[in-house]
Amino acid sequence: MTSAPPPVRPTGLGQYLPDFRQGLQNLLLHKLRSLLTMLGMIFGVAAVVSMMSIGAGARQQVMAFIEQLGVRNLIVEAREVTSFDDLDKVRKLSPGLTFQDLRVVRANVSGLQESTARKRFVPSKLIPKPQRDMPTVYGVNPSYLKIAGLRVVAGRFFDLDETQGAAPVCVLGQAARQNLFGYDEPIGKYVKVNEQWFRVVGLAGPMLSSQTAVEGVPSQDLNNLIYIPLYSAIFRLEDSKSGLKDEIDGLYLQLASASDTVSTAEIVRGILNASHHDAGDFSVIVPAELLAQQRRTQRIFDMVMVAIASISLLVGGIGIMNIMLASILERTREIGVRRAVGATQKDIIRQFLVEAVLISFVGGLIGILFGFGISRMIALLAGWSTIMTFSSIALAFLFSVSVGLVFGIYPAMKAARLDPVEAIRYE
């Protein structure tokens, strides 16, 4: 009489299916305990996902704003004073930013494609009366259109002849148009800035704005602007307080290559420091440098988020280990019976590991949904920009499953080492 062949043990993924079913049954059998065990994972993953989505939204806004400044551009901003005492100290050393500075820079900087001075004003009164904040007036040359990447969506931008003739024409930014004319068609109509009338000849497209100052770039709504010819700003809008101001308050320079911006910025600083006698009354902004710095900051921020994820999910992992150790005590007889009917130590280890990973897996999924909901709620209530990135979801989910695996090893090993005879006798 021949003996029966030994049972064929499943291999590959098939060996995990019975453990998966049994683990799911155990979780459903103790629903409240399973949910409480998952809470650490749920809140840890939700915190990581929501924090990273908020951080990604803020970073994208800042980086898009810096990119809009132009990686081939250099911006020189005047540091103007507001009191006569401070002005007197500065003027003993420096005349402030002038057209002469622009001419010297043009003559000594190679690879310069476009350039313009800027004269900025905040009007004391406007007609039509603004519905919200008072728009700012920018006096610039036509080359500003290319340097700033400004789009004209209706009408046209003023030309060089109008600039040199100080023509009373203007182009409205998107918010300035809404602010002054609402939904009416403004092309061909007039805007009275202080005591001067300007005819609207064009409308600019939307621009990104930063809510806070970015490395020397002042915070300003770049859509709530009125663009006028540079000499119109100087000859038509210069007021009695102009003695407190520089001849011009900004320079925009566009280079042929983005790789030359840092070295060219040093040349520009040297030229201006020489003519201003190191008065420190200007700053040179290099958008390409700001962009590289922002990317370095982003990498550091991501590393901090990983550290926070580790700490947050560590708490969840301790909860999983605790509940798995308690489960071993409850199921000691079950373990003994399984060992008595032929289950190996590997089978017991696999069973408890699958249960631990299942807890962290389900907790991670719920945490991702919870984190998505938190980020959307913050975006709606606070008006912040939030971005759910695949990397943040994958990172949080990977950590949650890894924590379940790591913290499930010790309870699984402990269960596998139980003596089958003693386990069956356990009451």
Residues 334 and 263 placed together within one structural domain of the fold: no
Residue 372 lies in a domain: yes
For the CA atoms of the chain, what is the radius of gyration? 34
Give the residue from 256, 280, 304 where a domain finishes: 280
Partners of residue 114 on adjacent β-strands: 254
- Six token digits for residue 268: 């520009």
Spatial CB neighbours of 373, under 8 Å, sequence gap ≥ 6: none
Residues 52 and 106 placed together within one structural domain of the fold: no
Give the residue from 250, 280, 310 where a domain finishes: 280
> Which residue segment(s) compose the domain that 327 sits in?
12-64+293-425
- The CA distance from 119 to 234, in Å, is 7
Residue 36, classed as helix, strand or coil, is helix
- What is residue 57's predicted lDDT score, i.e. its pLDDT? 75
Residue 234 lies in a domain: yes
Please work out, in degrees rounded to the nearest 5, the angle formed at the alpha carbon of residue 283 by the alpha carbons of 278 and 286. 130
Q: Write the DSSP string, 277-289.
A: TT---EEEE-HHH
CA 290 to chain centre: 14
Residues 85 and 208 placed together within one structural domain of the fold: yes
Of 231 and 183, the structure prediction assigns the larger pLDDT to 231
Residue 243 lies in a domain: yes
Residues 274 and 303 placed together within one structural domain of the fold: no
Instruction: Tell me the residue length of the chain.
Output: 427
- What is residue 1's predicted lDDT score, i.e. its pLDDT? 46
Taking only the tens place, the pLDDT of each residue in 15-33 is 667 767 777 777 777 777 7
Taking only the tens place, the pLDDT of each residue in 187-229 is 999 999 988 999 999 999 888 766 555 555 666 788 899 999 9
Strands 250-255 and 126-127: unpaired
Q: Is the predicted pLDDT of residue 244 greater than 70, yes or no?
A: no
Average pLDDT over residues 348-365: 82
Residues 145 and 248 placed together within one structural domain of the fold: yes
DSSP 167: -
Residues 271 and 248 placed together within one structural domain of the fold: yes
Residues 338 and 396 placed together within one structural domain of the fold: yes
Place of tokens 């004269």: 119
Residues 36 and 145 placed together within one structural domain of the fold: no
Give the residue from 231, 257, 280 where a domain finishes: 280
Residues 321 and 384 placed together within one structural domain of the fold: yes
Taking only the tens place, the pLDDT of each residue in 410-421 is 887 887 787 777
Residue 102 lies in a domain: yes
Quick one: residue 5, left, alpha or beta (phi over 0 = left, psi -120 to 50 = alpha)?
beta
Residue 73 lies in a domain: no
Which ranges of 74-136 does DSSP label H, i.e. alpha helix?
84-91, 99-108
- What is residue 60's predicted lDDT score, i.e. its pLDDT? 72
Residue 69 lies in a domain: no
- pLDDT-derived band at 110 (thresholds 50, 70, 90) equals confident
Residue 7 lies in a domain: no
Question: 307 and 104 in contact (C-beta within 8 Å)?
Answer: no
The number of distinct structural domains making up the chain is: 2
Residues 172 and 272 placed together within one structural domain of the fold: yes
Residues 238 and 160 placed together within one structural domain of the fold: yes
Residue 74 lies in a domain: no
Residues 172 and 269 placed together within one structural domain of the fold: yes
Partners of residue 121 on adjacent β-strands: 137
